[in-house]
Amino acid sequence: MDKEERYVIISPDGFTIHPTDTYSDSEVLNAFRDWKKRYEHQGYYSSVKYGNISLRDLEDYCFVEKINQDE
């Protein structure tokens, strides 16, 4: 049986948005949206690399990376 591909979401500063969680292809977008909600009260994401990033632009600064499950 093939393993389901798993992904992590990388923040603008190069860290995963969660220290241990991984996501299926169908879970990635909801995981990102849930993480982004943590910053709604301040209205932006504060990045060491890029300064304050508007929440509407935050997706452009993040990326999804497939993880190797054989390790």
Report yes or no on 2 lying in a domain: no
Range of the domain at 31: 7-66
Q: How many domains does the chain have?
A: 1
Report yes or no on 12 lying in a domain: yes
Q: Considering the entire predicted model, what is its pTM? A: 0.88
Report yes or no on 1 lying in a domain: no
Report yes or no on 24 lying in a domain: yes
Tens digits of per-residue pLDDT, 13-71? Answer: 999 999 999 999 999 999 999 999 999 999 999 999 999 999 999 999 999 999 987 65
Compute how many other C-beta atoms are within 10 angstroms of the C-beta atom of residue 48.
8
Report yes or no on 36 lying in a domain: yes
Rounded to a whole number of angstroms, the distance between the first and last alpha carbons of the chain is 18
Report yes or no on 55 lying in a domain: yes
Report yes or no on 40 lying in a domain: yes
Report yes or no on 35 lying in a domain: yes
Q: How far is CA 11 from CA 2, 5, 28, 33, in A?
A: 29, 20, 13, 12
